[in-house]
Amino acid sequence: MTGPGERLTVRVYRQPACEDIPLPAYATEHAAGMDIRAAVTEPVVLQPGQRAMIPTGLHVELPPGIEAQIRPRSGLAARNGITMLNSPGTIDADYRGEIRVIVINHGNQPFTVQRGDRVAQMIVAPVIQVRWQDAESLNDTKRGHGGFGHTGT
């Protein structure tokens, strides 16, 4: 495990003919997410309401206890209505397949994904696995059973 300011080394495999696609990268010094890019072989045009699975050409070898989350890019959502289904997507430490992004066009205009476009962001984070323990009851709290907007009334 790493602490603040430390870097985790992760092995990555790029599919053949994807060497031109940059590896995931942080856009700013303190960014939490790395931009990941489309490895489409030809432009993909998404009509309003249409979705597509966009390849990245990347396979990763995350260490046990680490996951990668694939999330939408806020700029694509704000400007074009482009977001991701199954968000955030989870890349488990034992997954070795290609990372692909399920994008959908919620906008009013067609949107084209070109090779090398930044289509999503990736967050790498620790995972805590739990062991469930059956209980007859749970400790009381001030909130109790309140949920689904109860604090706003």
pTM equals 0.86
Q: Which two tokens stand for residue 77?
A: 């959502």
Residue given tokens 């994807």 in the structure block: 18
pLDDT at residue 2 is higher than 80: no
> What pLDDT is recorded for position 6?
78
How would you class 62 by CB atoms within 10 Å of its CB: exposed for 0-12, middle for 13-18, buried for 19 or more?
buried
> What pLDDT is recorded for position 4?
64
Q: Taking every pair of C-alpha atoms in the chain, what is the biggest distance, in angstroms?
A: 58
CATH: 2.70.40.10, 3.30.360.10, 3.40.120.10, 2.60.120.260. Which one for 11-127?
2.70.40.10
Q: What is the mean pLDDT of the chain?
A: 94
What does the alpha-carbon distance between residue 99 and residue 24 come to, in Å, rounded to a whole number?
A: 11
152: confidence class by pLDDT, cuts 50, 70, 90: low
The model's pLDDT over 70-119, given as tens digits with 9 standing for 90+, comes to 999 999 999 999 999 999 999 999 999 999 999 999 999 999 999 999 99
